[in-house]
Structure 1
Amino acid sequence: MRIALNARILQAPRTGIGQYVAELVNALRSEREVEVTLFNGWGWSSALPEAAMPGYSRLTPLLRQIPGAYQARRWLEQKRFDQGRAQNIDLYHEPSLWPLHFDGPTVITLHDLTHLHFPAAQPPARVKEIERRLEAGVAQSQRILTDSQAIADEAQAYFGLPAERFVVAPLGVAERFYPREPEAIKSVLKAHAVEAREYFLCVGTLEPRKNLNLALQAHALLPESLRQRFPLLIVGMAGWQPSQFSDQLRRGLASGHVCLLGYLADEHVAQLLAGARALVFPSLYEGFGLPVLEAMASGTPVILSRTSAMPEVAGAAGNYIEPDNADSLRDAMSRLIDDQVHWQVCQEAGLQQARRFSWKRCAQATAGAYRQALGG
């Protein structure tokens, strides 16, 4: 099967979907019947590009201000994509929301329906473009991959499609996420002035859906001595209109008990996850929740909301809280500080739960969707 996969998102810093594309492509190379060629928006390649860091493009903020910029870029990408027809493509896989036009079998990955629930989390022009194109893209696709059953069920109901059009392919864990001894991560911890297992960690783009305010509020409710001993570290890029977090963040940063680390290299994040007391992940809505899985695989307990797809990922290993209750989050954090037996139970349960997921299994399910779309 000769697959054209749209990998343009890899030109940006790798957040959730970018990590998905990179890991899936690597895992698909072990599927003997699958041959993947990557479209990068301008041309074609068989090799993954190096991960970009923030600031990779100074044009992106400008493009958001230009009327019709998304449509113009889309037109150019379609023209470039059409030039790849000579490669005798059997199937086109679009891993991010809406596909380019292709007159052969198409598979898309629908990670979530965030644009319906949290349209303010993305630039208005992008939301408008999603609304304009997504339904047609779904109709164009023979199979629709989702990261979780929760999103498959939601999308099936929203689009009014039969269940057999959907294939659930849960995400996996990259090799860099595993338990590490404090000595192995001491340089990274020292750089942020923390000790192993003596800080809480939030990972994710700074946007309303991630519910960062709840994490800040709950941490502020801890006794001052605990806030000083167990600071809250926040890793992630600023999202669309992050200014709404400014007041809350300013108070936390001024106290010295909250550290905003910004976007970090993958290995740096993996080491911080392995050293945290717990991952704090009170997100309001997720199509999967990859940091939850990565934390569990790193031997770190997770505190998370019981919403959307997250219970599918954490299972019985999760410390669940209500996403609008700062007291419940504070209590979960306190227990993981005070109750070492509970912490160890959560750690072991998380390691066992994480073993259920792998990129190999994701690739196998994805290859199965390709076969179905091709009529095999």
Structure 2
Amino acid sequence: MRIAFDASVLQAPRTGVGEYTLQLGQALQQLPEMELCLFDGLGWPDTFPQTPRSGYGRTSRLIKALLPGAYPARRALMQLRFNQGIRRLKPELYHQPTLWPLEFDGPTVMTLHDLTHVHYPETQPRDRLREIERRLPASLQRASRILVDSRFIAEEAIQHYSLPADKLQVAPLGAAPRFHPRDEHELQECLTSFGVGMRSYYLCVGTLEPRKNLKLAVGAYLGLPKSLRERMPLVIVGGAGWRQEQLEYIPARELSSGRIRLLGYQSGECVAQLLAGAHALLFPSRYEGFGLPVLEALASATPVIACDHAAVPEVAGDAALYADAEDSDGYRTQMLRLIEDSELQERLRQGGLERSRQFSWERCARITTDTYKAARYS
């Protein structure tokens, strides 16, 4: 089956949706019945881009600042280049793995990862939000099938957009091979470069934006005894989101002392090593359609302390510790439990590994392939 597969999101620095696009696409390419025609937003390359386009963020910000209506203009150009390739390649089906599809005269599958634009519209650029609100409802109605990452998002989509249940298919994500348990020797160079030791730091991973609820993790951490904070820093990895969350709630003394460390955006391999070496992943997000860093931590045998909201419990099950997204004291209690109870640490590490084996990109690709077939013959 020849599939037009939109990989244009990989031109930008890779976050969760980019990781989904790359890992799913590569897993699909391993299936003998699949032939992917990759569209990168401007052309049709033979392989997936492994790194973002040089200067993408700077160029994108400049275009948006200088060109009113940049999103519609960019979409029009993408549609033109897309049409040119479609006429030449003649795919049987089109999959848009990010948000809203381009126009295609044939079966279309799209992936709806979450409804962030509904619950947290302030995290979207205004012109992008207008485009989502204008295009997404019609795209969902027009799509032959809709993939979602979790049952939680399927239920939200059915309720909010009045979609028939049989139009949606849950295809849980996987963890890339780089997320696996590692010993101290393997991690020594990475950990030394950041001045931390094996299992001696807390880690937060995610784009810096309000829905990630970083303030909860920071507040809980600041409530720990100072002696504990001095030997267990809080390391925060993540690039700036739209209207980057202001971090005034982090005291300057914590930053200057190194007890809280902001590393900014890091490469995928660096994140994998930091996850494998952490005492725990703190994942306080208020809203997730899946929560990929949680699964990646479980696959790395790293305990997770998360909020009991949205899709995260669906992913982690009983292999994580939970607290309410508004309860800093409850979150701190879970952090102290994990510090004080070595048996709990080991149970979560082993339980996380077992839980992570229920998820894989191969499984996601198989479900996606079945969805393609259903869309093609519906």
TM-score band, normalised by shorter chain = over 0.9
Structure-1 separation of matches of 2:347 and 2:57: 45
Secondary structure at the aligned position of 2:37 is classed as strand
Q: Name the residue aligned to 1:3.
A: 3
**Letter in structure 2 aligned against 1:79:** L
Instruction: Determine the structure 1 residue equivalent to 2:20.
Output: 20
**Structure 1 segments of 4+ aligned residues over 6 angstroms from their partners:** none
- Secondary structure of the residue aligned to 1:41 is coil
Cα offset, 1:247, TM superposition: 4.2
Q: Secondary structure at the match of 1:189?
A: helix
State the partner residue of 1:64.
Answer: 64
For 2:80, the equivalent position in structure 1 comes to 79
1:178-210 deviation digits (Å, cap 9, x = unpaired) = 111111101111111111000000000000010
Deviation digits for residues 64-83 of structure 1, max 9, x if unmatched?
Answer: 33321100001011011000
Is 1:349 matched up with 2:348?
no
Distance 2:54 2:222 in 1: 29
Question: Which range moves more in the overlay, 55-64 or 325-334?
Answer: 55-64
Contact preservation (8 Å) 1:171, 1:357: yes
Q: Is contact 2:208-2:245 (8 Å) kept?
A: no
SS in 2 for 1:245: coil
The 2-side partners of 1:239 and 1:272 are apart by 21
1:85-234 equivalence runs, <5 A: 85=86, 86-234=88-236
- Give the whole-Å Cα distance in 2 for the aligned partners of 1:202 and 1:345: 21
Aligned to 2:296: 294
Aligned length: 376
The AA in structure 1 aligned to 2:215 is N
State yes or no: 1:269 paired with 2:268. no
Per-residue deviation at 1:55? 4.5
TM-score (structure 2 length as normaliser): 0.97
**Structure 2 portions without partners, runs of 5+:** none
Q: After superposition, where does 1:229-244 map in structure 2 within 5 Å?
A: 229-244=231-246
Structure 1 vs Structure 2: percent identity of aligned residues?
A: 52
CA distance in 2, matches of 1:250, 1:207: 20
**Pair 1:340-2:359 in alignment:** no
How far residue 32 of structure 1 moved from its aligned partner, in angstroms, is: 1.6
Q: Deviations over 1:86-105 (max 9, x none)?
A: 21110000011100001100
Structure 1 unaligned segments of length 5 or more: list them.
none
Distance 2:249 2:62 in 1: 27
1:284 to 262, 283, 286: 286
Which segment drifts farther, 100-109 or 243-252?
243-252
Which residue of 1 is the match for residue 326 of structure 2? 324
**Helix, strand or coil at the partner of 1:98:** coil
Matches of 1:96 and 1:264 in 2, distance apart?
22
What is the TM-score normalised by the length of structure 1?
Answer: 0.97
The amino acid that maps onto 1:210 is: K
Query: Is the CA contact 1:216–1:249 (under 8 Å) kept in the aligned structure 2?
Result: no
CA contact (8 A) 2:205 2:238 kept: yes
> Whole-Å Cα distance in 2 between the matches of residues 148 and 24 of structure 1?
15
CA deviation map 1:263-319 (0-9, x unaligned) = 111111111100000000000000100000000000000000111111111001110
**TM-superposed deviation, 1:53:** 7.6
Please state how far the C-alpha of 1:251 moved relative to its aligned partner.
5.3
> What amino acid is the match of 2:125?
P
Distance 2:81 2:5 in 1: 14
Preserved contact between residue 54 and residue 263 of structure 1 (Cα < 8 Å): no
Letter in 1 for 2:281: L
The equivalent residue for 1:48 is 48
Q: CA RMSD in A?
A: 1.3
Partner deviation per Cα, 1:124-164 (whole Å, 9 max, x = no partner):
11111111110111111010000001001110111111111
